[in-house]
Amino acid sequence: MAEVDPNLIERINRLRVETPSWGYGNSGTRFKVFAQPGAAQTVEEKIADAGLVQKLTGICPTVALHIPWDRASDWDHLKRLASSHGVAIGAINPNLFQDDDYRLGSFCNPSAAIRRRAVEHVLECIDIARETGSTTISLWLADGTNYPGQDDLRARGRRLRECMGEVYRALPPGLRLLVEYKFFEPGFYSTDLPDWGTALEICIELGPQAHVLVDTGHHAQGVNVEQIVAHLIERGRLGGFHFNDRNYADDDLIVGSADPFQLFLIFNEIVAADQDAGQVAFMIDQSHNIEPKIEAMVQSVINVQVAHAKALLVDRPQLKAAQESGDVLGAQRVLTDAYETDVRPLLAAARSALGLDPDPIAALRRSGYVERVAKQRGLASAESGYPEA
Ligand code: PSV
Ligand code: MN
């Protein structure tokens, strides 16, 4: 390979990707969960797996938690355990969708008592973030309705704003609230936070600690996600991502497995705006139905790195010149030239610069970790699509 620019290697290695605790446990579709031997069952096991992904990739130093799935009796102990595995606690995700009380919603529920309960849960998550040193609350609401007339849409919006205001006011300095939108599911008629516009409007109303979270699987088919990203950057409100890929709905497949070009175009916007230095949380949110968990996670991280590295290769001055002279195809070609570059040798060099194996998948397979934990942890019984709270 020709001489590699050390500055480029440094920029490649500066990227940080957060992995989700729930990606290490058994999960499935609503039809079936196929339990895998060795799949993490406890928060301690999930953290150990996240630690391995960090050791293999060198760019995944944090793990997101979902509460109550990952509730611990001693947060300080968990924090120290994470540190012993080489990771820290990342985003805290309140879970407002898995309790019978939330049948008609959480923050938008017609019952004031249930709204209170939902707010209290997020307040507890803010305390957990404080105790674990997390800098992010990542909030997704499953609120919506199934039928026209089921509830008063404007009243639901008012309840949403009231509850959001209360949790926002409880944020200590330095803790960000990421607001995640999704256009459908589990509500199949209306969703209370359906799109980036609604999320952005709420964030602006709330204040500077609120930012929008873009889950790449949460849009209708054909939506130009990179344009949403560009717009949120311009408004100073791009908080982060939940990366995953999909063919049909919110499939939660391996990042970049279905549409790697879109992932590249998203990173193109981020790199063009120089947003990769800490303002944006790059998180993975995927669940594996049939895939081996840790290998799937490492593959997703690699695919993120590929898209990011290709975006770093875009010849920006040439792109600008082509854009300004109205050279439509010349400009487009600047992007595709970068996209079509094989960055695998570059990424191998970047990993070697960190003292890592240049091929994390081969290193994982050689390590025997998966076979070892399969023996130690055994097979969990996994009946439902999500772990029981
Ligand atoms: C909802 O589909 C979502 O994307 C939210 O981020 C949840 O926290 C996550 O999936 C896990 O269920
Ligand atoms: Mn998500």
pLDDT, one tens digit per residue, over 35-84 is 999 999 999 999 999 999 999 999 999 999 999 999 999 999 999 999 99
pTM: 0.96
Ligand 2 centroid to 218 CA: how many Å? 8
Number of domains in the chain: 1
Pocket test for ligand 1, best of 102, 106, 215 (most atoms within 8 A of CB): 215
pLDDT at 182 over 80: yes
pLDDT confidence band for 288 (50 / 70 / 90): confident
User: What is the atom index within ligand 1 of the atom nearest the CA of 244?
Assistant: 4
User: What is the atom index within ligand 1 of the atom nearest the CA of 215?
Assistant: 4
Closest to 344 measured CA to CA, from 316, 380, 309, 377: 309
Ligand 1: residue whose CA is nearest its atom 10: 285
Query: What CATH number is attached to the domain comprising 69?
Result: 3.20.20.150
Task: Answer yes or no: is 67 within a domain.
Answer: yes
Q: Which ligand gives the minimal distance to the CA of 95? A: 1
Please, are residues 232 and 238 in contact by the beta-carbon 8 Å criterion?
yes
pLDDT digits (tens, 9 = 90+) for 230-271: 999 999 999 999 999 999 999 999 999 999 999 999 999 999
Task: Answer yes or no: is 302 within a domain.
Answer: yes
Could you tell me what percent of the chain has a pLDDT over 90? 93
Burial (CB < 10 A; 0-12, 13-18, 19+), residue 157, is middle
- The residue segments making up the domain with residue 185 are 15-312+343-377
Task: Answer yes or no: is 227 within a domain.
Answer: yes
- The reply to whether ligand 1 has any atom less than 6 angstroms from the CB of 244 is no
Task: Answer yes or no: is 261 within a domain.
Answer: yes
127 compared with 380, residue with greater pLDDT? 127
pLDDT digits (tens, 9 = 90+) for 324-380: 999 999 999 999 999 999 999 999 999 999 999 999 999 999 999 999 999 999 888
Give the separation between CA 232 and CA 224, rounded to whole angstroms: 13
- The reply to whether ligand 1 has any atom less than 6 angstroms from the CB of 49 is no
In sign, the C-alpha dihedral spanning 3, 6, 8, 14 is: positive
Task: Answer yes or no: is 326 within a domain.
Answer: no
Q: Which ligand gives the minimal distance to the CA of 64? A: 1
Ligand 1: residue whose CA is nearest its atom 3: 140
Task: Answer yes or no: is 47 within a domain.
Answer: yes
Task: Answer yes or no: is 129 within a domain.
Answer: yes
* Alpha-carbon distances of 101 from 96, 104, 114, 118, 122, rounded to whole Å: 9, 8, 7, 9, 15
Closest to 286 measured CA to CA, from 82, 15, 28, 14: 28
Q: Which ligand gives the minimal distance to the CA of 241? A: 2
pLDDT, averaged across the chain: 96
Give the separation between CA 367 and CA 304, rounded to whole angstroms: 23
Task: Answer yes or no: is 102 within a domain.
Answer: yes
pLDDT at 277 over 80: no
- The reply to whether ligand 1 has any atom less than 6 angstroms from the CB of 215 is yes
Quick check: helix, strand or coil at residue 286? Answer: coil
- The reply to whether ligand 1 has any atom less than 6 angstroms from the CB of 180 is yes
pLDDT at 193 over 90: yes
- The reply to whether ligand 1 has any atom less than 6 angstroms from the CB of 140 is yes
